[in-house]
Amino acid sequence: MAKAYMGVRLQRLREERGISQVALAKALDISPSYLNQIEHNQRPLTVPILLRINAQFGVDVQLFSDDKEAGLIADVRDVLAEVGGGAGTETISMAELRSLASNMPAVARAVVELHRRNRSLTERADSFAARLGDGHKLASFALPGTHDEVRDYFNQRLNHVAELDEAAEAIFADSALTIGDAATRLAQRLNTRHGVRLQIAASNDRIDDSALAKRAYDPETRTLRLPDHLRPGQQAFQMAVQLAQLEIGELLDSLITHAKFTSDESRRLARIGLANYFAGALVMPYAAFLQSAEELAYDIERLSNRFGVGFEAVCHRLSTLQRPGMPGLPFFFVRVDRAGNVSKRHSAADFHFSRIGGTCPLWIVYEAFSQPERVLTQTAVMPDGRSYLWLARQVVSGPVGYGRPQKTFAIGLGCDLRHAHRLIYSRGLDLSDPAAATPIGTGCKVCERQRCPQRAAPSLLEH
């Protein structure tokens, strides 16, 4: 742990607990003057004192961790770059941004959230204006920004929802599920406990479009219809999603209520995301999956084969393994299409996905489309000097058969370079040579690499 000057966070802890500086100093077995110096950033918060805080108050040490600080700094920097830049605008230094994120993270997150809401309202107004101007009938649509709000919820939890993991492990044991072959038992549980009948729709049957051709549930007939192109592991996943709605609905409601989402659309999307998280946790239970991941050096294709699920499902599950006391590697997960649209992005660490202006074309994830079926690797360095190992592969899903439309995406999974030696994908790579890393950024509009050969737009960071 580097020297951590986090006095404001310590003051906030005192305020929340309603205790005086003298009382806290006594509880931590230090002098009031020493505590006063820590709170005013004249002395760092040391590991021994941090451990005493944890022992006395049961506070998660992540509260005083700087693991997420880089991402928060980048978020605030993006926001200020987009709203500033005019004549007479005062430049805000990196030192000031770092101080804000380190000492007052709640204020920094509030700035980002205010910007998100303002952009959401602006986009909504533009959408209404465009529809009225074209003479089209107004239709209901998801508010812009709701996806960002739900993503932020998962990312602030390091993409780990302990309550759902625990519920999934309990049901896994109660149903006597088998690793890699959960579909049969899940179908039995749905039928015996909930009277739900499973129907596999033949290829020439129509699947309800609202279920995105994966799952359609009729509550009146209590019939769960799945398309026949799903593999057994995919069928198990969809059955687990339905099981979440039937068995842990109160837990889902509680999580959503405590998250304090700002709109019904955000709450709806969050419920879908939480149900999907539970499904992944049920088909790939935490302890067994983590043990297998470590045993197989995080070989995604072998994990896919062992648990009977697809490449994307394994990558997503790997990004959720942040149980206190039993963590996996902190991964970043992303899914993009050929046009560069990011449809999924989760981070269990501090990699920053830009909110402005797309992503970087030098990122290996886009190369995956030109080399299907291959797992590609890349060591990459960001403008702030942080280095990462990325791997990417194209995935295809949807109905099987000539002329039937399918969906094509590229999946990216990354981790800090200091963890790379634990992955099978690092074999043959020179992890110690800085020159071997590809310089990438978070997107042209917020990247300061002015001489980049792939620059597509001027940087908002220029003055």
Residue 317 counted as domain residue: no
Q: Is the pLDDT of residue 123 over 80?
A: no
Q: How remote is the C-alpha of 256 from its chain's centroid?
A: 16
Whole-number average pLDDT of the chain? 82
Looking at the structure, tell me whether residues 55 and 179 fall in a common domain.
no
Answer whether residue 165 is part of any domain: yes
Residue 92 has pLDDT above 80, yes or no: no
**Whole-angstrom Cα distance, residue 217 to residue 95?**
53
Could you tell me if 276 and 200 lie in one domain? yes
Show Cβ contacts of residue 162 under 8 Å, excluding neighbours closer than 6 positions.
323, 324
Domain coverage including residue 92? 71-128
Domain assignment present for 166: yes
Q: Are 56 and 82 part of one and the same domain?
A: no
- Domain presence at residue 433: yes
Identify the DSSP state of 436.
G
On whether both 231 and 255 belong to a single domain, the answer is yes
DSSP character for 222?
A: T
Residue 433 and residue 461 in one domain: yes
Collapsing DSSP to helix, strand or coil, 226 comes out as: strand
In this structure, what token pair is assigned to residue 94? 């990196």
Same domain, residue pair 75 and 57: no
- Of 209, 207, 249, 244, the C-alpha closest to 226 is 207
Is residue 272 domain-resident?
yes
Residues 373 and 104: their CA atoms lie apart, in Å, by 45
Q: Which positions ≥6 away from 169 have C-beta within 8 Å? A: 281, 285, 286, 287
Taking residue 278's Cβ as centre, other Cβ atoms within 10 Å add up to 26
Q: How far apart are CA 261 and CA 265, in angstroms?
A: 9
State whether 379 and 303 are in the same domain: no
* pLDDT class of 242 with cuts at 50, 70, 90: very high
Q: Where residue 29 sits, what CATH number does that domain have?
A: 1.10.260.40
Residues 240 and 123 in one domain: no
State yes or no: pLDDT of 316 exceeds 80: yes
Q: Does 269 lie in the same domain as 367?
A: no
What pLDDT, in 10s, does the model give residues 386-427?
A: 899 999 999 998 777 777 778 899 999 999 999 999 999 999
User: Residue 324 corresponds to which amino acid?
Assistant: P
**Within-domain flag for 321:** no
Q: What share of the chain is helix, strand, coil (3-state, %, to 5)?
A: 50, 10, 40
- The dihedral over CA atoms of 332, 337, 342, 344, expressed in degrees to the nearest 10, equals -60
Please check whether residue 405 lies inside any domain of the structure.
Answer: yes
Same domain, 335 and 448: yes
Give CA–CA dist 437/387, Å, rounded: 8
Are 356 and 458 members of one domain?
yes
By CB neighbour count within 10 A (0-12 exposed, 13-18 middle, 19+ buried), where does 463 fall?
exposed
Q: Which position has the higher pLDDT, 303 or 347?
A: 303
The string of DSSP letters for 399-412 reads --STT---EEEEEE
**Residue in 320, 293, 273 with CA at minimum distance from that of residue 161:** 320
Average pLDDT over every residue of 55-83: 67
Q: Is the pLDDT of residue 11 over 70?
A: yes
CATH of the domain at 377: 3.30.450
The answer to whether the CB of 330 falls within 8 A of the CB of 419 is yes
Nearest residue to 113 via CA among 305, 355, 336? 355
Distance in angstroms (rounded) separating the CA atoms of residues 340 and 180: 33
- Measured CA to CA, the distance from residue 38 to residue 379 in angstroms comes to 38
Q: Once rounded to an integer, what is the mean pLDDT over residues 142-168? A: 83
Question: Do 49 and 82 belong together in one domain?
Answer: no
- Say whether pLDDT at 246 is over 60: yes
Question: First and final CA of the chain: distance in angstroms?
Answer: 35
Q: Pick from 375, 381, 443: which is nearest to 417 by CA?
A: 381
CA pair distance 420, 427, nearest whole angstrom: 9
Average pLDDT value for residue range 35-42: 84
Instruction: Please tell me the distance from the alpha carbon of residue 10 to that of residue 8, in angstroms, as a whole number.
Output: 5
Q: Identify any residues that bridge with 411 across adjacent strands, giving them in sequence order.
A: 335, 393
Residue pair 391/318 in contact (Cβ under 8 Å)? The answer is no
pLDDT digits (tens, 9 = 90+) for 254-304: 999 999 898 899 999 999 999 999 999 999 999 999 999 999 999 999 999
Report yes or no: 227 and 212 within 8 Å, Cβ to Cβ: no
69 Cβ partners below 8 Å, 6+ apart? 98, 101, 102, 105, 350
At 321 the pLDDT is: 94
- Average confidence (pLDDT) over 55-72: 63
Domain count, the chain: 4
pLDDT of residue 36: 87
Domain assignment of residue 252, yes or no: yes
Q: Choose among 124, 165, 130: nearest CA to 143.
A: 124
